[in-house]
A and B are shown apart, each in its own frame.
Chain A
Amino acid sequence: MEDDILNEIVSSEDLKKFERLYLNESTTDNLQRGTQFNYAWCLVRSRYSADIRKGITLLEDLFKTEDSTNEHAKRDYLYYLALGNARIKEYTKALQYTRAFLSIEPGNQQLANLETLIKKKMEAEGLKGIALAGGVALAVGGIVGLGFALAKGKK
């Protein structure tokens, strides 16, 4: 049994199940956003970084194509983008996502917990300085003006 959300591994049955749903809908040109999200959510919890990267790509695609008024969906994508990036040790990116989220919703405990976990992991790997140097550049993974995009929807 794994100790936290950065180490937890999706079961291979689940990964296969949600992949099958995704592929079925993709090949019949009937891909639902929820199906893509569920598959991406499983991929970013894989033990293999190739899967995680694929999950990140799917989430970036969802984020970019989401209706700007759909705040809830965007929160979901951002959270799992942060988690996925942290799991492949792309800590700087991961923290940019958590910070973008927290700049809009400062009191969110779940995001604060994830950020603490990422920082702890970086510290354990001797990367403390990088966490601080990450800054607040919000052009991550092709998602430019992340904070702005979210803030706009908030009004």
Chain B
Amino acid sequence: MSAPPYSYSYIFKYIIIGDMGVGKSCLLHQFTEKKFMSDCPHTIGVEFGTRIIDVCGQKIKLQIWDTAGQERFRAVTRSYYRGAAGALMVYDTTRRTTYNHLSSWLTDTRNLTNPSTVIFLIGNKSDLKDQRDVAYEEAKQFADENGLMFVEASAKTGDNVEEAFVETAKKIFQCIQDGRLDLNATESGVQHKPSQPGRQTLTDQSPKPSCSC
């Protein structure tokens, strides 16, 4: 038999932002391919990846725009912020300058996304313990002060990578359930797809399962 037209119920749009060389593309690759990309040249413009995940029993397709960190792409990559439901903001725990630039990344994100956009701060390269240049506590405080979710992660070992992408989706899903995110707004970054459209014509529409996570 043919597959249903959609194998997922929602699409969430994500962006990944941060200075060049912090490992944005490697985090994406680890998340979508479960592999570490050791040879990681600078991204040209933007790269794209998808993965379907399960949140509270719902299949959610993440459409992830991975932006180039280099300054010369900045003017155009800014247009990808529009309509993002989730923003993963990345710095490198071994290079303080990438951390110092976070407030400007955050300002950009706040200006170009909408108030319901979930922003998740990732301190990447947590495996390089000897080279640490930013204390966990300091970044945690920055995240708390700005209302961001936060983990330290490693695209190399995979540590906390899954968590960052999935926790962002859970938070977005929570916002939908609480009615804080308007699905009809054009720039919410979320699309609803009935997962089995044929069903509604045969039986009464069953009530939506409520989320308990």
Chain A 1-21 near chain B by CB (<8 Å), digits 1 or 0 = 101110010110010001000
Q: Which residues of A contact B41 (CB under 8 A)?
A: 105, 107-108, 110
Residues of B within 8 A of A (CB): 11, 13, 25, 29, 37, 39-48, 50, 63, 72, 75-76, 79, 82-83, 191
| With known contacts A1-B63, A108-B41, A113–B76 Cβ distance under 8 A | no
Q: Which residues of B contact A113 (CB under 8 A)?
A: 47
**A66, CB-defined interface residue at 8 Å:** no
Contact present for A1 and B11 (CB under 8 Å):
yes
Contact present for B79 and A76 (CB under 8 Å):
no
Q: Which residues of B contact A105 (CB under 8 A)?
A: 41
Contact present for B76 and A42 (CB under 8 Å):
yes
Q: How large is the interface on A (under 10, 10 to 19, 20 to 34, 35 or more residues)?
A: 20 to 34
Q: Which of B11, B39, B40, B79 contacts A11 (CB 8 A)?
A: B79
**A109, CB-defined interface residue at 8 Å:** yes
Contact present for A80 and B29 (CB under 8 Å):
no
> Beyond the given A18-B76, A38-B75, A79-B45, could you list 17 further A-B residue pairs with CB under 8 A, ordered by the A residue number?
A1-B83, A5-B46, A5-B47, A5-B48, A14-B76, A14-B79, A34-B75, A41-B45, A79-B44, A80-B44, A107-B41, A108-B41, A109-B37, A109-B40, A110-B41, A110-B43, A110-B44
**Which residue of chain A has the shortest Cβ distance to B80 in the bound complex?**
A8
**A120, CB-defined interface residue at 8 Å:** no
**Which residue of chain A has the shortest Cβ distance to B43 in the bound complex?**
A110
Listed from nearest, the 5 A-B pairs whose CB atoms lie closest are A107-B39, A79-B44, A14-B79, A5-B48, A110-B47
What are 26 A-B pairs at a CB distance below 8 A?
A: A1-B11, A1-B63, A1-B83, A3-B63, A8-B48, A10-B79, A11-B79, A14-B79, A18-B76, A34-B75, A41-B45, A41-B76, A75-B44, A76-B45, A79-B45, A105-B41, A107-B41, A108-B41, A109-B25, A109-B37, A109-B40, A110-B25, A110-B41, A110-B44, A110-B47, A113-B47
